[in-house]
């Protein structure tokens, strides 16, 4: 399998607020079920670019002054390391059991505003201060940094926790001549698409995302690992601003589970095994959920120019004239027992804000049925752009699928 990497040097991802408007749009309707029609879900395959994973990962929490949830994080990480969630979401990628180390509260002074240039110095200072308790830096240890809610973090010119901006990220930093994986988790007041979530739960949801990615892609700059995707589905990485394992699931609804043995919300993570089995690509699968989606007919191929390197990829597309109204031919698919009465919308992701400014039109259908949906767009795009299809059953769930439109 050939894979390609998208995105920036570090994972700076979050659920796009526009998806949740789509979720609301398709979440009204009656439901039934039948034997299902799996057909072809046409899902991507996540791939490794050859870098190492952490076969025996350790996580070292570092609490800077003012972080309000140190006790909760210690409890959460201890439970995370001893319950099935971790192996469920990481074992197929070669990651072993997680070891949670005792949290360390550092006295290192933190300025009111931090950037990706100043953050590594804080880690070095904390490790120097706490040498007796923390030991020397280790490449098998994910150093998780937590901050006062009043601290502003600006990474690659993005202000974390702000609307439309990341809620956390992971990276690799050089400390004492050694590259180590890090997870940077600010104390956000809320999480995109989770309006009822507050307090420590906002932090654990973001932390679960970053820990999984830091274990499966610990050195994203120098030796990237599970951050690839098969070439035919490369537009998924454009639509979701990344192809790491948590990125691919953060926009499905529900993207969160709260295992009883953990007691805090965690994110669902992409599973190649689940995608192949038809049980759904995002695990753990909530009790009673049967996967379904809507797939567009893409009869042609187009050339997509992607990423900072402007590399070209041949991808499946449907063709349309520049600025002209176009429609997508969709087919609903679902596993045995899937709802039969479904809704779907289709829209182009022309730029970072188009999912919020486009106005999709809902179409309805049953599992196994093909329908025609008008493609919503917010600008006169040219070239190949992602075509997003969202399918819902009326129970507040949303499964996204990504294709392409070649505007000529």
- pLDDT tens digits for 102-112? 999 999 999 99
What are the E-state strand segments in 156-225?
158-159, 169-175, 178-185
In this prediction, residues 252-257 reach a mean pLDDT of: 94
State the pLDDT at residue 193.
74
**Phi, psi at residue 121, to the nearest 5°?**
-65, -30
Summarize pLDDT for 30-88 with one digit per residue, the tens.
445 555 665 689 999 999 999 999 999 999 999 999 999 999 999 999 999 999 999 99
Q: Using the predicted structure, report yes or no on whether residue 14 has a pLDDT greater than 60.
A: no
Mean pLDDT, to the nearest integer, of 201-211? 97
Per-residue pLDDT tens over the stretch 91-100: 999 999 999 9
Q: In the structure, what pLDDT confidence band is assigned to residue 7 with cuts at 50, 70 and 90?
A: very low
**To the nearest whole percent, how much of the chain has pLDDT over 90?**
77
The predicted model gives 121-131 an average pLDDT of: 97
Q: Would you state the pLDDT for residue 310?
A: 82
* Strand partners of residue 332: 294
Give the model's confidence band at 196: pLDDT under 50 very low, under 70 low, under 90 confident, else very high: confident
Share of the chain above pLDDT 70, in %: 88
Q: CB count, 10 Å around CB of 315?
A: 23
Q: Could you tell me the pLDDT band of residue 22, with boundaries at 50, 70 and 90?
A: low
Separation CA 94–CA 142 (nearest Å)? 16
Q: Determine how many CB atoms are found less than 10 A away from the CB of residue 235.
A: 27
Which single residue is written with the structure tokens 């009790």? 287
Q: What is the pLDDT of residue 266?
A: 98
What's the fold here for domain 47-270? Collagenase (Catalytic Domain) (3.40.390)
Q: Can you tell me the distance from the alpha carbon of 376 to that of 325, in angstroms, rounded to the nearest whole number?
A: 8
CATH topology of domain 22-41+291-407: Immunoglobulin-like (2.60.40)
Q: How confident is the model at residue 355 (pLDDT cuts 50, 70, 90)?
A: low
CA distance 13 to 164: 10
Q: Where in the chain is the domain with CATH 3.40.390?
A: 47-270
Is the pLDDT at 5 greater than 60, yes or no?
A: no
Tell me which of 28-42, 187-201, 351-365 is least confident: 28-42
Instruction: Judge contact between 193 and 202, C-beta under 8 A.
Output: no
Measured in degrees and rounded to the nearest 5, phi and psi for residue 296 equal -85, 145
Averaged pLDDT of the chain:
90
Residue intervals in the chain for CATH 2.60.40: 22-41+291-407
Instruction: Quote the pLDDT of residue 350.
Output: 74
* Partners of 37 in the β-ladder: 334
φ, ψ (nearest 5 deg) of residue 113: -130, 130
Q: To which residue do tokens 């965690």 refer?
A: 266
E-assigned strand segments in 25-64: 46-48, 58-63
Is pLDDT of 352 > 90?
no
Q: Residue 407: which pLDDT band, with cuts at 50, 70 and 90? A: very high
Which residue from 202, 182, 183, 204 is spatially nearest to 191, judged by alpha carbons? Answer: 202
Give pLDDT, residue 283.
98
Assessment of whether the complete model's pTM goes beyond 0.85: yes
């Amino acid at each position: 399998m050939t894979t390609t990497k998208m995105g920036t040097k570090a994972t700076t991802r979050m659920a796009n607020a526009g998806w949740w408007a789509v979720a609301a749009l398709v979440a009204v309707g009656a439901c039934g079920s039948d034997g299902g029609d799996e057909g072809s879900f046409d899902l991507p395959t996540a791939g490794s670019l050859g870098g190492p994973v952490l076969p025996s990962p350790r996580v070292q929490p570092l609490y800077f002054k003012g972080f309000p949830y140190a006790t909760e994080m210690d409890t959460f990480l201890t439970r995370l390391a001893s319950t099935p969630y971790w192996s469920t979401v990481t074992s197929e990628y070669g990651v072993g059991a997680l070891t949670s180390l005792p949290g360390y509260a550092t006295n290192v002074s933190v300025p009111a505003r931090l950037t990706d240039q100043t953050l590594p110095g804080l880690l070095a200072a904390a490790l120097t201060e706490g040498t007796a308790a923390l030991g020397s830096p280790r490449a098998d240890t994910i150093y998780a940094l937590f901050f006062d809610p009043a601290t502003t973090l600006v990474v690659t010119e993005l202000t974390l926790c702000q609307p439309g901006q990341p809620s956390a990220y992971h990276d690799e930093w050089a400390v004492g001549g050694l590259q180590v994986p890090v997870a940077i988790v600010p104390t956000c007041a809320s999480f995109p698409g989770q309006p009822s979530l507050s307090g420590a739960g906002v932090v654990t949801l973001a932390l679960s995302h970053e820990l999984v990615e830091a274990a499966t892609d610990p050195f994203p700059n120098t030796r990237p690992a599970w951050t690839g995707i098969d070439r035919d589905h490369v537009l998924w990485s454009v639509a979701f601003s990344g192809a790491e394992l948590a990125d691919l699931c953060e926009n499905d609804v529900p993207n969160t589970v709260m295992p009883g043995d953990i007691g805090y919300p965690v994110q669902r993570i992409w599973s190649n095994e689940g995608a192949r089995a038809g049980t759904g690509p995002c695990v753990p699968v909530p009790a009673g959920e049967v996967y379904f989606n809507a797939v567009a007919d893409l009869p042609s191929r187009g050339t997509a120019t992607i990423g900072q390197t402007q590399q070209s990829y041949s991808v499946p597309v449907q063709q349309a004239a520049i600025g002209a109204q176009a429609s997508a031919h969709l087919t609903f698919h679902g596993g045995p027992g899937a709802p039969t009465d479904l809704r779907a919308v289709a829209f182009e992701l022309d730029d970072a804000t188009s999912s919020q400014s486009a106005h999709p039109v809902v179409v309805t259908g049953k599992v196994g049925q093909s329908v025609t949906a008008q493609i919503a767009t917010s600008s006169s795009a040219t070239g190949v752009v992602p075509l997003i299809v969202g399918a819902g059953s009326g129970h507040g769930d949303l499964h996204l699928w990504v294709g392409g439109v070649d505007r000529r």
